[in-house]
Structure 1
Amino acid sequence: MKYKLTTALSTVLIASVVLSACGTEKQEAVNEEPKEQVEQTEGSQNTDTVENEEVEAEEVSIEDTITYSEVNTYKQIIDELSKEKEGEAADWNLASTLYADGLKETIVGADDSLDVAISAALEAGANRQLDTVVALQVVDKTTQSYFYKKQKNLQSDVVAALEEGNQEVAELAFTELKYLAEEVLVPTAAKRDSYYSVDMQIQIENGLSIQEAALIQGNVDDLKVYKQMTDKTVYRSYYLAANSYAEKIAAAVQEGGAEKVDLQIKQAEAWGFYQAIKGSLSGGDEEAAAALDTIFDLGQTDPETMNADEVADLFVKTFVGKIIGYHGKVPVAIEEGNITDARVEAMEANVFMKAIELETIERLGEEQAADLMEKGEAWFEAVSNENAEEASSISAEIVEALNQLF
């Protein structure tokens, strides 16, 4: 049996997340990609040491890691709660216990606002104060938002360990990263690949392969640069996930006959995915990012009023703001002689530009969109070659085109 969404409860649920996130998410927007400044140690370049430590690293099983435990706990929770989608009664007390014992502590440590949402949804689902499938989706997608943050932390751990010359620790962290990608991040991207006919799964897997090559070589600089391919493609999958639900809701409303609760389920899924990236997007356009959070908010927006075009416009505005921001940072880094930082920021800008490629095609046409991506590649090459004049010229053309998107 399904219960209708209690508006007052959902307002408390989502409002509490927003309030508790004010400090955490704002800081993430400012410091999204802290640049590691420690110089690469000689030890990480020692081929014999690398080979020996690789053998030792293989002795540590993925089953012994926190990441494995967290993913396993997540799967158990979702398997149990998914019974609600089949009309069966889930054991919400079991799900709450699993969460408390296996995920809560690390989620609180990463972002306590996510814990507020998950804990409230578990309680509301157990008490039947919230539609149980809506509650399931809040738990599922908000936990996936945590796993995006977990991915970023593992990326940083790999870089930090390699900078310290600890190949074994770096490789173990990377093993955890690959496991998390395989079990959670790639399946999420694959679903959006199917919906949008894009290839994020391949991009994530290629990014991990390039990162692994840099790790084996002990090349910290390349690792910093190419981790952006993986990270920002995962980021894109969360953006497209949220955007797709807005499109599905709008289409269902237009067709007519959709149950309100079914629209709310999709809205909850969009909201949960959006939590992973909203702080970062605020760095591109704070007002637009806040507007998206309100639109996806179960307590503030009736899904029947959701406008998919408005959602798309707001996303484009935030992404363009971030991309142009990186174009401002790159010349400064080049001038200061921080070429690795410049390459990292240029790569971030390009992968973010790839993220909104579908909107670019829609608004500028396929030819101009392809030209824009080619210019992005040329810009990155100019930055990597420390050709400041050429990089500046290409950058100006890219920014001009981006400003035509809205």
Structure 2
Amino acid sequence: MSIKFKLLAAMAALSLVLGACGKAEETASKPKVENKEKSAEKKETEVKEKVAYADVFTEATTELEKAKEGKEVDFDKVTDLYNKNFKELVQQRDAEFEDTIDEKITAALSAGKDGSMDKVVVKQLFDKLMQKVFYTSIKHDFTEVTEKWGNTEEVNAELEEAKNYYAILKTTVEKRDAAYGTTLVSVIDGGFSEIETAVKNNDQLGFNLGKQVVDKTLMKTFYLATGALPNGYATKAAAEAGKDAALAKVEQAEGWAFYQSLSSYLSKHAADETAFIEKQFNLESDVKAVDPAAVNKAFVRGFAKIAIDEYGESKELFGEDKAVITGLEGALFIDIIGEDIKTLLGEDAYKTLTEKAQKYVETAKAKDKAAGEAQLNELISTLNTIVEKAK
């Protein structure tokens, strides 16, 4: 059986796997989530101490990478590595973020072994879904820092864990820097530096601002990998659709798996855009129908809507530290779609927008309510214009 035929046949199996996981997610009861959370709390420290995640991840992905070379993959080995080293961590994040990544990865590895899913697709799903787990584990550690604030030793231990998770993701960030000429690695390094300085100075606001820089820059990384022009997987899948349908499906699968790191956040602010992007990347959809420009515009509208909501929250909480934090979040979401805004409004308009966004953060820190309200109105007005122009 040809590789192309096997891959195309596997798409139906993949759709069933993902569909089943989706149904499981919908029907999962809250009591089960709560029980998992309690279990996760007890085991978190123990699990982190005994596993060198980076080494195991490299070993597993190296084995799966053999699929691209047409070699046999030892799925028993990969499954064993996953079950012994990652499964507990993944289940902890599933409980915390109400996700079903463990089911998806387990089903994909099983399908790879029995031949119902192409091995190349399995590799991409395992790789990108585990990257989501490492990303959400960074978020988890940041939450732990907040809860343990004041206990420097424990806080530093959590930060060290967060940096270890980021070290695994760094290659993905570097790839986006190479593809787009960005400086995401430097920005994230700067965010961690801000955090470390804040801990030393007992500056909780400084920590929260540095945390946002790291978090939102990782979100930008995932956006550049999925829906940005011209190097996102939507573009790659569409480009291959007319040449090699099998390869196009692999690109579509990569886009879908990367998108999982963004979809839950996006869905809280832009449900229509989230659903559209999901449908475009979903393997049940015809890859020839993937529209990179439409996917890109949906992302732009979605992130602009998030920024609007962040600024709305900042307005409500003006005078509190949270207003400064959400003000910075608004600026960071503007940065995520910076190149797209330049295309829609022009270089000068984008420069003016970013200057206003930065100025508002300083105004929020100074608690100048009159100036803050005027600046927020201007920012939200421009963002609404972006939403309209991206339709």
TM-score range, shorter chain: 0.7 to 0.9
- Given that residues 328 and 361 in structure 2 are in contact (C-alpha distance below 8 angstroms), is that contact kept between their aligned partners in structure 1? yes
* Higher RCO (Cα < 8 Å, 6 or more apart): 1
Task: Return the alpha-carbon distance in structure 1 between the equivalents of residues 21 and 353 of structure 2.
Answer: 38
- Residues 72-128 of structure 1 deviation map (CA, whole Å, 9 limit, x = unaligned): 322211011111111211101110111111111221221241112111110111111
Task: Return the alpha-carbon distance in structure 2 between the equivalents of residues 329 and 291 of structure 1.
Answer: 26
- Given that residues 240 and 247 in structure 2 are in contact (C-alpha distance below 8 angstroms), is that contact kept between their aligned partners in structure 1? no
1:208–1:142: structure 2 CA closer, same or farther, 3 Å change rule? same
1:352 lines up with 2:340 in the alignment: no
1:310–1:208: structure 2 CA closer, same or farther, 3 Å change rule? same
Letter in 1 for 2:140: N
Alignment of 1:29-68 (within 5 A): 65-66=48-49
Residue in structure 2 matching 1:318, options 302, 306, 311: 302
> Residue 161 of structure 2 corresponds to which residue in structure 1?
176
Task: Return the alpha-carbon distance in structure 2 between the equivalents of residues 14 and 245 of structure 1.
Answer: 19
- Given that residues 67 and 180 in structure 1 are in contact (C-alpha distance below 8 angstroms), is that contact kept between their aligned partners in structure 2? no
Letter in 2 for 1:278: S
- Given that residues 249 and 266 in structure 1 are in contact (C-alpha distance below 8 angstroms), is that contact kept between their aligned partners in structure 2? yes
Please give the secondary structure, in 2, of the residue aligned with 1:103. helix
> Residue 133 of structure 2 corresponds to which residue in structure 1?
146
Letter in 1 for 2:332: V
Query: How far off its partner does 1:136 sit?
Result: 0.7
> Residue 37 of structure 1 corresponds to which residue in structure 2?
none
Letter in 2 for 1:16: A
Structure 1: which 5+ residue stretches go unaligned?
27-61
Letter in 1 for 2:234: A
1:9 lines up with 2:13 in the alignment: yes
Residue in structure 2 matching 1:85, options 60, 68, 71: 68
Residue in structure 1 matching 2:22, options 15, 18, 23: 18
- Residues 143-179 of structure 1 deviation map (CA, whole Å, 9 limit, x = unaligned): 11111111100111122212xx211010011111112
Alignment of 1:130-169 (within 5 A): 130-162=117-149, 165-169=150-154
Query: How far off its partner does 1:356 sit?
Result: 0.6
Letter in 2 for 1:177: A
Task: Return the alpha-carbon distance in structure 2 between the equivalents of residues 225 and 20 of structure 1.
Answer: 36
> Residue 45 of structure 1 corresponds to which residue in structure 2?
none
Task: Return the alpha-carbon distance in structure 2 between the equivalents of residues 372 and 210 of structure 1.
Answer: 24
Task: Return the alpha-carbon distance in structure 2 between the equivalents of residues 262 and 234 of structure 1.
Answer: 27
TM-score by length of 2: 0.88
1:316–1:22: structure 2 CA closer, same or farther, 3 Å change rule? farther
Residue in structure 2 matching 1:225, options 197, 209, 216: 209
Query: How far off its partner does 1:68 sit?
Result: 5.3
Please give the secondary structure, in 2, of the residue aligned with 1:90. coil
- Residues 343-378 of structure 1 deviation map (CA, whole Å, 9 limit, x = unaligned): 111111111111010110111111111111111001
Task: Return the alpha-carbon distance in structure 2 between the equivalents of residues 321 and 19 of structure 1.
Answer: 28
Please give the secondary structure, in 1, of the residue aligned with 2:52. helix
1:130–1:64: structure 2 CA closer, same or farther, 3 Å change rule? closer
Q: Identity of paired residues, percent?
A: 28
Alignment of 1:6-405 (within 5 A): 6-22=10-26, 65-66=48-49, 69-111=52-94, 112-162=99-149, 165-182=150-167, 184-243=168-227, 244-253=232-241, 256-257=242-243, 259-298=244-283, 300-334=284-318, 337=319, 339-405=320-386
1:14–1:63: structure 2 CA closer, same or farther, 3 Å change rule? closer
RMSD (Å), alpha carbons: 2.0
Greater mean deviation of Cα atoms: 360-369 or 15-24:
15-24
- Given that residues 323 and 364 in structure 2 are in contact (C-alpha distance below 8 angstroms), is that contact kept between their aligned partners in structure 1? yes
Task: Return the alpha-carbon distance in structure 2 between the equivalents of residues 173 and 82 of structure 1.
Answer: 31
- Given that residues 225 and 340 in structure 1 are in contact (C-alpha distance below 8 angstroms), is that contact kept between their aligned partners in structure 2? no
- Given that residues 308 and 380 in structure 2 are in contact (C-alpha distance below 8 angstroms), is that contact kept between their aligned partners in structure 1? yes
Task: Return the alpha-carbon distance in structure 2 between the equivalents of residues 397 and 20 of structure 1.
Answer: 43
Task: Return the alpha-carbon distance in structure 2 between the equivalents of residues 20 and 281 of structure 1.
Answer: 21
1:201–1:374: structure 2 CA closer, same or farther, 3 Å change rule? same
Letter in 2 for 1:138: L
Query: How far off its partner does 1:186 sit?
Result: 2.0
TM-score by length of 1: 0.84
